Structure 1
């Protein structure tokens, strides 16, 4: 059996002289976190009383302490990061009574989200998908801004409509309605993904309606006005103004987290209106087989809906793509719902990833979901 080489941080600790020059050389020599096989060494060079690694990997303490190398201001912790993993994190330091949390200054890779950036660790084998990067060969689709009046919600709603590059009024297109559409465009590179997948013929030419919520925590969990807005007003107006396939087989709803709940509850309220659902990291929280004491009050209507649905499951679409990251607490709920959905007769394609509850995680599953919901000619002809 081959002898395992010592980790870089342990070789540094055993150095005879640990002066400023030695530390600077160590930092300059390595990319951080240091990946050695599946061992990830997170390093902080900070004058502090305590340093912690903050993350959202289920099963590991959220506030993970780093150890200081004696006689230095270099702190470290080693974690096992399985192949193909992607982990977002920050550092937290305590100096006396002062606490500060920030991205890793030694790591240039960051992930963006509506609540701010975070550092990101790529495990061995992980790469940003090539279809999520700009391809100069791909003809770009067009984004059209609309304002559509919702009587159900008593307001004007913004909608960004994606028209594929070769859009023609002489043919008909499937329609995908995306909850939190602005965030999918901004943080999950979804226009780039659509351009690339359609260009490669992996995905059918599709019209995509990116929607924007008001108060999503109130509107998304089983809201009658929201479901009416999406189905009776948005869908009706788009099918009247654009050449769309006015049939369930050509309609799909999509969302992540609470957006997945909004998609699911809308489909339940209007069964057989849509042919497909694309649900990512759905907030499918239920208590019929457990107790979630202290849960956020925003989840109360979700829990009520999920408990009721699990008691009497409904087949509201023909096909469902469902994905979740194994590092997020919602993984248990998502796994539990697969047999519930399947037993209704819906065809369910369930995918897991070594990632968390994040926009880049949802981006990385877009090809799996979009090309299964509306496959292009390179895969097979959609019926």
Structure 2
């Protein structure tokens, strides 16, 4: 753009941001702020500009988020003499960002969701407000479709000698399930979290209903000590391969071939899926790995993940040093706003070097359950395509 070229926003005759119109109002007072807030939902999204708002008395206020390589505490400004605080952040099209507000009153700091924003995301560790930038839409497959016949859920309890504990899993049977039909099997790590925070049953119902995914039996497993059992833990791999899958095969009509079995998980659950396949190379044909905690080091063993990542780093370093094919196909997704994006990008060519077919997807999102939910439709349909594309005989 040259010095004489009008700015694109000016060429289109763009209006001033709503917050700037308010700031330049005559006789600005609390009543005018009341009217302003009644007309706008926070954050106010105007093209790439997202204006965050908070109203109240405080000494300082910040927007806090986890976008990698960006300041994660963005100070808000106060309208002089009034109760409204604001800051405008530019976000690329299609972005979805979870955030909270940090409020300081004297020596007291409060972290809270945005009271002006109705969009809230939930996770096992709490909730966050959500900024949906221009171009972001919740995928239709993640929303309830009254025409989609629902699958059935059943609990199974199995005592694991390998893990030395009782296990509880949820079994999803597709809507048209028949004992006389053999089905592929998908095992999901952190199963209850996928059900509670990633709408996975809804996604399964919808994708199977539209024939974008094969009718599949899905088992939602749950960990005991997650940080111990998931990073390349021999007992966990033995539980899946020698206890759970054989038990399921006795109880349910499953296709008994590796290409009809898949493992999936997010974060540490992705590491668990990869490591189980690594220890049992003929067990599954596909892996669905979301925001895998694939932390490794190129020199030495020092890393910034803390002690919980020590076994992960040891496993990933060994795998990178001597990669081998553990599945025929991998669907890998990661958010560009999370620190793990570097590790996931780096692992794709390593997996491909083994002859594995890899589909890799990035999103303008973070390390969150709704990010993983939004990638499920494509991932599930790619791992087990609908009957018009793939038939188990």
Question: TM-score higher than 0.5 here?
Answer: yes
Match of 1:189 in 2: 199
Question: 1:340–1:22: structure 2 CA closer, same or farther, 3 Å change rule?
Answer: same
Match of 1:207 among 204, 217, 227: 217
| Structure 1, unaligned runs of 5 or more | none
Match of 1:341 among 351, 368, 378: 351
1:256 to 243, 254, 266: 266
Give SS of 1:273's match.
Answer: coil
Relative to structure 2, which stretch is displaced further, 155-164 or 9-18? 9-18
Contact 1:33 1:41 (8 Å CA) reproduced = yes
Aligned to 2:45: 35
User: 1:142 maps to which residue?
Assistant: 152
Q: Please, which of 56, 61, 67 is the counterpart of residue 51 of structure 1?
A: 61
Q: What is the CA distance between 1:291 and its match in structure 2?
A: 7.4
How many residues are treated as equivalent by the alignment?
382
Q: Which of 295, 317, 324 matches 2:327? A: 317
Pairing 1:26–2:28 present? no
Normalising by structure 2, we get a TM-score of: 0.95
After TM superposition, give the deviation of residue 294 of structure 1 in Å. Answer: 4.1
Give the conservation status (yes or no) of the 8 Å contact 2:58–2:104.
yes
> What are the equivalent positions in structure 2 for 1:301-312 lying under 5 Å apart?
301-312=311-322
Q: Deviation per CA, 1:243-282, whole angstroms, max 9, x where unpaired?
A: 1011101000000000000000010000121100000000
1:330 paired with 2:340, answer yes
Q: Secondary structure at the match of 1:168?
A: coil
Superposed CA offset, 1:12-43 (max 9, x none): 11112121111111111101100000110001
Contact 2:301 2:313 in 1 (8 A): no
Q: Distance in 2 between matches of 1:68 and 1:240?
A: 65
Q: 2:250 maps to which residue?
A: 240
**What CA distance in whole angstroms lies between the structure 1 residues aligned with 2:30 and 2:113?**
23
> Take 1:253 and 1:82, find their aligned partners in 2: how far apart are those partners?
33
Report the RMSD for the aligned CA atoms in angstroms.
1.2
DSSP-derived class of the 1:184 partner: helix
Q: Which runs of 5+ in 2 are unaligned?
A: 1-10
Q: CA deviation at 1:292?
A: 5.3
Shift of the 290–72 alpha-carbon distance from structure 1 to 2, 3 Å rule, reads: farther
| Secondary structure of the structure 2 residue equivalent to 1:365 | helix
Q: SS at 2:179's partner residue?
A: coil
* Cα distance change of structure 1 residues 146 and 79 upon mapping to structure 2, 3 Å threshold: same
- What TM-score results when the alignment is normalised by the length of structure 1? 0.98
Which of 162, 167, 172 pairs up with 1:157? Answer: 167
Q: Take 2:269 and 2:124, find their aligned partners in 1: how far apart are those partners?
A: 14
Kindly state the Cα deviation for residue 124 of structure 1 after the two structures are TM-superposed.
0.7
Can you list the C-alpha shifts for 1:143-172, whole angstroms capped at 9, x where unaligned? 010101111011110010000111111110
Distance 1:293 1:205, change over 3 A: closer
How do residues 2-13 of structure 1 correspond to structure 2 at under 5 angstroms? 2-13=12-23
Decide whether aligned partners of structure 1 residues 364 and 154 sit closer, same or farther in structure 2, where only a CA change above 3 A counts: same
- 1:349 aligns to what SS in structure 2? strand
1:206-237 CA-partner distances (Å, limit 9, x unpaired)? 00000010110111000000010111100111
Structure 1 residue 134 displacement after superposition = 1.1
| Counterpart-to-counterpart distance in 1, 2:298 and 2:202 | 41
Residues 333 and 290 (structure 1), Cα distance of their counterparts in 2 relative to 1, 3 Å cut: farther
Deviation for aligned residue 1:57: 0.9
Contact 1:374 1:382 (8 Å CA) reproduced: no
Aligned to 1:264, the other structure's residue is in SS state helix
Shift of 1:115: 0.7
Is 2:369 the counterpart of 1:359? Answer: yes
Deviation at 1:290, TM superposition (A): 8.1
Contact 1:280/1:362 (CA < 8 Å) preserved in 2?
yes
